[in-house]
Each structure stands twice: as structure tokens, then as C-alpha cells.
Structure 1
Amino acid sequence: MISKTQIRKRTLKKRNPEIVETIKLAKENKLLELAKKLSSPKSNYKNINLDELNKTEGNKILVIGKVLGQGDIERKITVAALSFSKQAQEKLKNSKCEIKTIKQEIKDSKLKGVKIIQ
């Protein structure tokens, strides 16, 4: 487990204001494990394709990184991520999946029943 002080120190190094706000929101909602993963170096973020999301169990999936458009999605899921490629957004919308940012997911559901991928 990482301390709140370490998360704060890592947050100071982040340049993307959206990620900084998301880390602060996660800390406020006592989601320290998520704040830890978001405050880690960007090289630890994961790029995941739609075919990998299709194989993942659960209806709510949170990706700490970027969702890419390779492959197809064959079921209706809710995907939250830091960013999405244009092709991934189109394919997810066509299959009637819900697309959210991590910040929106924290505000809406406090991450209940969400599978986190990093």
C-alpha cells in the first residue's frame, strides 16, 4: 500500500490536469489503490484493444490507459478509461456500449462492481 503523501508527491509530477483532478477525486472518495495506479508513471499505463475487452469478464470495466480499436466487441459493456482512440469510440458506440472517463465513473458509481485493468 502506498501512503497519501507518496500519492501527493507523484501527483505533483503530473502535467495533465485531467489526470491530476481524477487522482484528487479518487483520494477524496477513499479509492487509494486507484489513486496509486493513476499517479504511477505513464509507462505503467496500459493500451488495450477491444478484443481483449471482449474477453474480460464483467459488465463494467475500467482501463488505466487507452482503449484501442483493434478487434470487435460482441456484448454490451460500460468502459471507463483515460482515453479512447477514434476507431474504438466508433466501434463501442455502434455496439451500444457506454463510454465514460474514469472521473465520470468515480462520480457516478464510486467504482462498485467495476473490474480494473492495468
Structure 2
Amino acid sequence: MSKSYDKSNPRLTELIRLLKKTSSENEVQIWRDIAVRLEKSSKNYAEVNVSKINRYAKEGETLLVPGKVLGSGLLDCRVTVAALNFSEAAEDKIAGKQGECLSIEQLLAQNPKGSHVRILR
């Protein structure tokens, strides 16, 4: 049994609740998976550089990072990235390629079924 962590960030606790609710309502496992990852200690959150997004993403793809996107590296294609947080450099590089930076809440509202979303950690 994994250890439960009490979150002091109200945005994060509300996001976890919303992810679980949406997962249950739409019978979609991807949102429950993200909620479980975000319930763990923040030291285990993903930190993904733009260079990793560039390596694994295809043109026009939607990626979900359960953590922070950092600005190291270059981006060659247009992608939509949803994450808990973005560095300024990462936002600039993604926007520079006509990509889109979304919060996880925004992606959840746009795509409650979680279709065509890939998790990158």
C-alpha cells in the first residue's frame, strides 16, 4: 500500500478530485492514472524538457506531463502540451512553433474522454 500525502495546495487537491470524478463519470482510466501520480510526493513529479517532447512527439499530437515542462532543448514540430506547470522558456518555445500550452484542467475540460492523449514522463 502506498503512502498517502496530504496536499496543502488547494489547486492540486481540487485537480486530483476533478480527475477522479471525470475518470469515474466517463469510465476513462487515463485521468485516474494522472490523479494517482499527482497524489504522490511532489519530488516524484515528472520534469520533462522540451528536447524530450521533441524526441517523442509527432506533429499535432497532444501530450500530458504530470509535472513541470522545462525549457532545455529545441522543438521542431507543433504540439499541444498539458502540464501542471511550465517554465517561461518552455512556454516560449512551444508557442514559437504554433503549439499550445494548457493546464491539466483545461485539457480535462476540452477532452473529458482523454482520447488521443499521450502521457510523457
2:22 corresponds to 1:20: no
2:116 is aligned to 113
Output the CA distance in 2 between the equivalents of 1:19 and 1:28: 14
Unaligned stretches of 5+ residues in structure 1: none
* Amino acid of the structure 1 residue aligned with 2:99: C
Instruction: Kindly report which structure 2 residues correspond to 1:47-86, keeping only aligned pairs within 5 A, or say none.
Output: 47-58=47-58, 59-86=61-88
Secondary structure of the structure 2 residue equivalent to 1:29:
helix
CA-based RMSD: 1.8
Q: CA deviation at 1:52?
A: 0.3
Shift of 1:117: 2.0
CA distance in 2, matches of 1:46, 1:67: 8
Deviating above 4 A after TM superposition, structure 1's stretches of 4 or more consecutive aligned residues are: none
Rounded Cα–Cα distance in structure 1 between residues aligned with 2:110 and 2:45: 23
In 1, the alpha carbon distance for the partners of 2:101 and 2:111 equals: 14
Aligned to 1:29: 22
**Match of 2:69, as an amino acid?**
V
Q: What is the alpha-carbon distance in structure 2 between the residues aligned to residue 72 and residue 17 of structure 1?
A: 33
Contact 2:80–2:101 (Cα < 8 Å) also in 1:
yes
Identity of aligned residues (%): 32
- Structure 2 unpaired stretches of 5+: 24-30
Q: Secondary structure at the match of 2:66?
A: strand
Range moving further from structure 2, 93-102 or 54-63: 54-63
| Number of corresponding residues | 111
**What TM-score, normalized to structure 1?**
0.86
Preserved contact between residue 57 and residue 79 of structure 2 (Cα < 8 Å): no
The code of the aligned residue for 2:54 comes to N
